[in-house]
Structure 1
Amino acid sequence: MNIIFSLDQIQQTAEQIIASNPKKIILFNGEMGVGKTTLIKQLCKTLGVKDATSSPTFSLVNEYQIPDSKKVYHFDFYRIKNETEALDMGVDDYLYSGNWCFIEWSEKIANLLPEEYSTLNIELLEDGKRNLELI
């Protein structure tokens, strides 16, 4: 699935992503500042998160409650030095929980990822819009 969108279309974009029935583990790829966290915040809202959302840059993971006692986990592995740090924080428990897992900088934990996941590549275009590819 490919979508070109502007930030004022982010709600509709998030709805399209969820409606496309991706795997519950989604890897977000893109340059720093391209809007990965902004899109994840909107995806959380689309899934029913009522709490304020923020980037887990320093905490590594933020946990949000959604309806039906389910959860959304938002990871940001930008600051980890090796996969052992992710293992020490229990990343495997999160990844195999059956809940939504949105992962930024997943290349830092490449060997820990389960076999099945969706990948979302996002790129900033010259006109300020984003090109999104969901695989």
Structure 2
Amino acid sequence: MNGGDILDTSYRFMVDDWGINSHTVDFKYRFSMGDTYLEPHLRYYMQSEADFYKRFVGESEYNNGSPTFSEASADERLSEMTAATLGLKYGMKLANGHEFSVRGEYYMQTHDGDKGYGALASQDLYPDSNAVLVQLRYS
């Protein structure tokens, strides 16, 4: 690393009583160039689904009209998923001692799961999510 360069890496593991396990790996490297810097960013996230996550309820999950489960949610934030963020930040020190930066990131999220049955089998039950983020910062 050059003098003033900064490497920032982290790994996080999370487990909760809903049955969700998640892993996050985050990487940033700040290339110092005098009063300016470039900072690429890469983040990867994956999680398992909650114990009670159900995208849909089928006939086999009912017993004489009563569900065979006590809790259910179709909230896709509780589903099995993976996400990645790729970004770049440019910053500069200003003459007044403050800093200005601009950051751009691209976020991609995918969900995995059952393909459904009947009419659901031909539907995209787990659409991907993509987002672009642009941030201007003055501090």
Q: Is this a same-fold pair by TM over 0.5?
A: no
Q: Which structure is larger by alpha-carbon Rg, 1 or 2?
A: 2
Higher relative contact order (CA 8 A, sep 6+): 1
Q: Which has the higher helix share?
A: 1
Please report the TM-score for the alignment, with normalisation by the length of structure 2.
0.23
Please report the TM-score for the alignment, with normalisation by the length of structure 1.
0.24
